[in-house]
Amino acid sequence: MLLQISLLILGFLLLIKGADWLIKGASSLAKAKNVSDLIIGLTIVAFGTSAPELVVNIVAAFQEREDLVFGNVLGSNNFNLFIILGITGLISPLVVQRSTIRMEIPISLGAVIIFYILGNSFLSEQAILSRFEGVFLLVLFGGFLFYIKRQLANKPVERPAETKTVSSLKITGLIIIGLIGLVLGGKLVVDSASSIAGFFGLSEKIIGLTIVAAGTSLPELATSVMAALKKNTDIAVGNIIGSNIFNMLLILGSSAVVRPLVYDPIFNNEVFLLLGGTLFLMIFMFTGARKRLDRWEALILLVSYLVYTTILIQNEI
């Protein structure tokens, strides 16, 4: 079992470093080809930060491990919302832009509602997320990217005075090594997580909602904590809300396109938790200090998730 835990940690490290290498290589390639910073941010960087969840889910979908697929996305989103925003909010009260409250958070809420309708198959007879529905989620994701593009187009672009030139060989090496790291890391995480679940008599659902979800959310945790320490709280909130939208639309959509996913209604509890947390976030932003998540509100998010996870694990055991 010690070996499986070590392989799981190694898998997370490969996922994180693989995404980092891929971003560096692809960004350097894009700049060498005179691609705009806006397009780089919308595609390469956005994909890189979501790569751990995406690769883990695609591997799990290929192996027909639906509980890991849904557990990873729903667990990651709840971890982002409750734990990461809770921790960053305790570090520094989170003040956000008006557009985040009026647009991004409602979009995140809408994505969860759409998934709930599709997953529970209220529009069809079988509880399955089909390929067609996966394509539909990807189309919605494309619409979200278009919205972000318009938002960024209205903001001034800051460019460094000098851009360091990276050799073609190094760019190619970074991209190839990054992709290899992502693929190997994703395979290690899925296989070792399943082995650990079997050893302890836990379901893949619980492993996906806790260990795998937390591990694949490490890039978001690091980014948001650093942003909070630097008092750049708008990035901290935007990173989490954006990541949750990416997970729900891009990652679940891609997973369903790879293979139709049978949905277990037991995941509705996590969906309701995510819906409740997103609604509370909207309410918090309009109460007390306007457009701000105060420390006591962040503490409520953090404690709520810890209590819920404790009950979840106890019921499993």
Q: How far apart are the C-alpha atoms of 156 and 34, rounded to whole Å?
A: 18
* Helix axes 268-286 and 105-119, enclosed angle (nearest 10): 160
Quote the mean pLDDT of the chain: 81
Radius of gyration of the chain (CA): 19
What residue type is assigned to position 39 of the chain? I
Which of 18-32, 187-201, 246-260 is the least confident region? 18-32
pLDDT 10s digits, 210-222: 888 888 787 777 7
pLDDT 10s digits, 70-81: 999 999 999 989
pTM of the predicted model as reported, rounded to 2 decimal places: 0.82
| pLDDT: which is higher, 155 or 20 | 20
Q: How far apart are the C-alpha atoms of 189 and 211, rounded to whole Å?
A: 10
Q: Is the pLDDT of residue 304 over 90?
A: yes
pLDDT of residue 160: 47
| pLDDT: which is higher, 285 or 303 | 303
Q: How far apart are the C-alpha atoms of 159 and 24, rounded to whole Å?
A: 17
pLDDT 10s digits, 92-150: 887 766 655 678 888 999 999 999 999 997 766 678 899 999 999 999 999 988 887 77
CB hemisphere CA count around 167 (13 angstroms)? 3
pLDDT of residue 40: 58
Q: How far apart are the C-alpha atoms of 12 and 63, rounded to whole Å?
A: 19
Backbone angles phi, psi at 90, to 5 degrees: -75, -35
Domain count, the chain: 1
Band (49; pLDDT cuts 50, 70, 90): low
pLDDT of residue 39: 55
Q: How far apart are the C-alpha atoms of 151 and 291, rounded to whole Å?
A: 19
Tokens, residue 265:
């209604």
CATH number (domain holding residue 65): 1.20.1420.30
pLDDT of residue 282: 82
Domain of residue 133 covers 2-156+165-316
Q: Is the pLDDT of residue 199 over 90?
A: no
Tokens, residue 24:
């560096």
Beta bridge partners of 95: 292
